[in-house]
Structure 1
Amino acid sequence: MTDFSILAPLVPFRTEQLLPYAAMVQWSNAHRLWQGQAMVTDPHQMFTAAAGSGFGVPVGTGVTLMPLRHPFEAALHARTMAVTTGHPVIAGFGPGGAAFQKSVLGSAYASPLTATREYVTIVKGLVDGDVVHHEGEYFFCENGLPPVPGPPVQVGIGVLRPGMARLAGEIADVAITWLTPASYLRDTIVPAVREGAARAGRPMPRVVAMVPVALGAQDRDPLEIALMSNAGHIALPHYIDMLSRSGIHVDREDPLAGARALIKGRAFLYGTREEVAGELDAFREAGADEIVLNMGGVFQRYGTRTALTELESLLEVVAP
């Protein structure tokens, strides 16, 4: 069975901005509330603040960027969310783009795969209760977290291309995709995750697909909403490469054409709620265990009330 979750479609400046989305998870059949990496407020602290306001729900970070924190601190943050929310947590991580790595660390990871392998190995060991002994090329840890009763933490890796997907299959609990069309998930990501798991002799991790969506209306321009939702991503080299592999060709010099390509390639879903629900079925059939509804473009264009209304409407169909 595929779970349906929601992404908080904003970077909240204040806790109360996040609470309507946490409340939606409480009273609907939405499975989990997700936030991505933000540079204005930190998702770990926002989820903890929401729990302190009485809205403790299952949460996921998809994904936070490795250069911002040591894996010991990352594990501590993830476990803190589990303890304070009272619910299981998915802590997703990714190396980010080379330019971002250099801006924070002084130089990019020579091997993002190696850096991610080390980082996730340390975090997973710590949240699983182990004392970790790791001296790697990028990260060092000789420590453990004191045992604390609480819900489990699963560790995820953001995957766009086959190499990272195979790594997720080898070592992670969850493989997390963003902006990947269902066909690419089916033909490239899921087989690579399965291959990595088989190589390591372990069960295949869960696959989470973050999918940008919007419901159609006569007065709407789908290109505008698609661009608002994804302009930053389709300007990044690793997203451009992933989309190209999936048959969606975007040009950072022509964002509007990129938005059009996302819609045509079904990386961004737009239509009636029944049409969008039908398109989401393709992600389930492709192997997604959890589908996360991303109404970011709707929020940016029309605000919280409309984003919540459309999430509620779509959840009535996909998660009745």
Structure 2
Amino acid sequence: MTLGVALDASSAVNQVDASVELARQAAAAGLTSAWFGQTFGADSPQLAALVGREIPALHVGTSAVPVFGRHPLTVSGQAQTAQAATHGRYHLGLALGTKLLTEGGFGLPFERPVARLREFLTALRQLTETGSADFRGQLLTAATPIPARVPGAEKPVPLLVAAMGPQALRASGELADGILPYLAGPRALEEHIVPAVTAAAESAGRPAPRVVALVHGVVTDDVDAVRERASERLAFYEQIPSYARVIELSGGRRASDVAVIGDEKKVADEVRRYRDAGATEVVFAGTDLSGEADRLRTWDLLGSLA
């Protein structure tokens, strides 16, 4: 995967049908991957599996499934099923989640998130690579008295983490295949995120990690109006400490300050900045900020760069 898009059809009459159609358009534009966020609505691994099976030209991924409120056995079954459905083109993203959604939605205490992430990754890797596990940690247990292998999912599912803080980056470098930073500009990537996750992977004897940068942006001529809409849409993230920190490390004050908004040259230059900062893949979200014409214009540019 090189350049992709995050697809959100949650306002459509039928989200699955609309997602397939959007993915078809993305593939036609020359993009190489489609990613699906996880909310309290559609199940993103299922959505990725359905879309990936319909559109063989695309890799598909989730960005990302929180580890609170889930169990490695369940997530492994979802991920392996998606991997079998797409014949090896599925990529699983995990996230620590937030205190607001974990406690407000699941009624679970948001405690020791990095320790939970470590245990979750350890058990999940056993399951996705071997179809079995015998993990007994402080926070969770994952054992397989019966096999947990999904036939057709022989290729191990890549495990990525939406990590940006020092502890999460260390855990991801040691235990995952890469990271999915969001709202992290080139400065934060180059000076803080990429060095930390790379050093952790090296110390653990693991290969260089993938850095899949999720970028909020769109090609448009109406820059001021679109940035204002981005400010409204992204304001939620400013109240979450991990995002507020990475926005500041990127040189921004508001989340919209790190959004990539402008004409083709501006956006293409920013994509190159992300790659120069260490991103191995770039995925654009928010391409629907200014309507259908600008979305297609954005996808055409990204497809040409891919």
User: TM-score normalized by structure 1?
Assistant: 0.86
Q: Deviations over 1:245-300 (max 9, x none)?
A: 33323xxxxxxxx25xx33xxx2111111111101111101111110011x2x425
Q: Deviations over 1:140-194 (max 9, x none)?
A: 1111522512344101111121221121110101211001001100010000011
Q: Which residue of 2 aligns with 1:279?
A: 270
Amino acid of the structure 2 residue aligned with 1:275: K
2:135 corresponds to 1:148:
no
Amino acid of the structure 1 residue aligned with 2:275: R
CA distance in structure 1 between the partners assigned to 2:270 and 2:52 by the alignment: 33
Deviation at 1:10, TM superposition (A): 3.7
- The 5-angstrom pairing of residues 200-239 of structure 1 reads 200-218=204-222, 221-239=225-243
Q: Which residue of 1 aligns with 2:82?
A: 81
Q: Against the structure 1 CA distance between its residues 219 and 31, is the aligned structure 2 distance closer, same or farther, given a 3 Å change threshold?
A: closer
Q: Which residue of 2 aligns with 1:94?
A: 95
Q: Which residue of 2 aligns with 1:186?
A: 190
Moved more, 177-186 or 215-224: 215-224
Q: Deviations over 1:71-123 (max 9, x none)?
A: 11111111111111224211011121122222345443432111000111111
Deviation at 1:34, TM superposition (A): 0.3
- The 5-angstrom pairing of residues 22-101 of structure 1 reads 22-51=23-52, 54-56=54-56, 57-101=58-102
Q: Which residue of 2 aligns with 1:288?
A: 279
2:6 corresponds to 1:7:
yes
CA distance in structure 2 between the partners assigned to 1:239 and 1:102 by the alignment: 18
Deviation at 1:316, TM superposition (A): 4.2
CA distance in structure 2 between the partners assigned to 1:306 and 1:85 by the alignment: 30
CA distance in structure 1 between the partners assigned to 2:25 and 2:239 by the alignment: 32
> Secondary structure of the residue that 2:159 maps to in structure 1?
strand
Amino acid of the structure 1 residue aligned with 2:87: G
Query: Among the aligned pairs, what percent are the same residue?
Result: 24
2:245 corresponds to 1:241:
yes
**8 A Cα contact 2:186 2:250, kept in partner:** no
Q: Which residue of 1 aligns with 2:19?
A: 18
CA distance in structure 1 between the partners assigned to 2:9 and 2:65 by the alignment: 15
**8 A Cα contact 2:23 2:51, kept in partner:** yes
What's the C-alpha RMSD, in Å, of the aligned pairs?
2.2
Q: For 1:168, which of 169, 172, 184 is the aligned residue? A: 172
Amino acid of the structure 2 residue aligned with 1:47: A
Deviation at 1:9, TM superposition (A): 3.6
Amino acid of the structure 2 residue aligned with 1:287: G
CA distance in structure 2 between the partners assigned to 1:40 and 1:105 by the alignment: 14
2:293 corresponds to 1:306:
yes
Contiguous gaps of at least 5 residues in structure 2: none
Moved more, 22-31 or 285-294: 22-31
CA distance in structure 1 between the partners assigned to 2:166 and 2:209 by the alignment: 15
CA distance in structure 2 between the partners assigned to 1:168 and 1:211 by the alignment: 20
Amino acid of the structure 2 residue aligned with 1:91: L
CA distance in structure 2 between the partners assigned to 1:161 and 1:182 by the alignment: 15
Deviation at 1:55, TM superposition (A): 2.6
> Secondary structure of the residue that 1:204 maps to in structure 2?
coil
Contiguous gaps of at least 5 residues in structure 1: 250-257
> Secondary structure of the residue that 1:231 maps to in structure 2?
helix
**8 A Cα contact 1:163 1:192, kept in partner:** no
User: TM-score normalized by structure 2?
Assistant: 0.89
CA distance in structure 1 between the partners assigned to 2:19 and 2:280 by the alignment: 25
**8 A Cα contact 1:10 1:299, kept in partner:** no
> Secondary structure of the residue that 1:92 maps to in structure 2?
strand
Moved more, 99-108 or 128-137: 99-108
Deviation at 1:130, TM superposition (A): 4.6
